Amino acid sequence: MDGLTLALVVAGVVVVLVAGLLLAARAVLQVVGVQGDSMTPTYQHGDQLLVLRRGFRRRLRVGAVVVCLPPPGVIIPDGERVARSQLIVKRVAGLPDGRLYVLGDAPQHSMDSRMFGPLDPHLARGVVVRRLGAGKSPSSASAGGDRVGGANGADGTDRAEGPLGRHG
């Protein structure tokens, strides 16, 4: 095998490995953007969050920030859409009987467990592990980025849409 052939084989292996790592990371992590005020001052409108989508159940503890579905029957006003197709971002404030009592950091702007009660843990779709950046509107997020939020309407709830809702 000459030097050029060896270099091409090595380059091909590296490309395959990098692609595999990216696919694996995509299955485990997701970047979402925040819209709304229910998690201020911790997260601001436009913040980008890194969410752990797989293996996060062990991180469901008081103080963790979660991305979750609202409970069945709860409708979060956003046009004609129903809450079960949306996700919300909240902080775990308690774990009564193994359920998630979630609150927004800005209670005056948050629809949370004070209104709909504790959530079943299966409604959790991920745990926020890091704030990546601020100021980018989710509508201008890079390809593959999901949105958290919606118009922070009368309920003041930060919402999410996209692949997080299809996993878990």
**CATH code of the domain containing 159:** 2.10.109.10
pLDDT band, residue 25 (cuts 50/70/90):
low
- Model pLDDT, residue 56: 79
pTM summary value: 0.68
What does the pLDDT average to over 131-158?
45
pLDDT of residue 82 exceeding 80, the answer is no
Q: Domain for residue 69, yes or no?
A: yes
Q: Domain for residue 121, yes or no?
A: yes
In which domain, by residue range, is 95 found?
Answer: 30-166
Q: Domain for residue 17, yes or no?
A: no
- Model pLDDT, residue 21: 73
Q: Domain for residue 68, yes or no?
A: yes
Q: Domain for residue 13, yes or no?
A: no
Q: Domain for residue 130, yes or no?
A: yes
Domains: count for the chain: 1
DSSP per residue over 45-99, as a string? TT-EEEEE-SS-GGG-STT-EEEEPPPTT----BTB--GGG-EEEEEEEE-GGG-
More confident residue, 86 or 165: 86
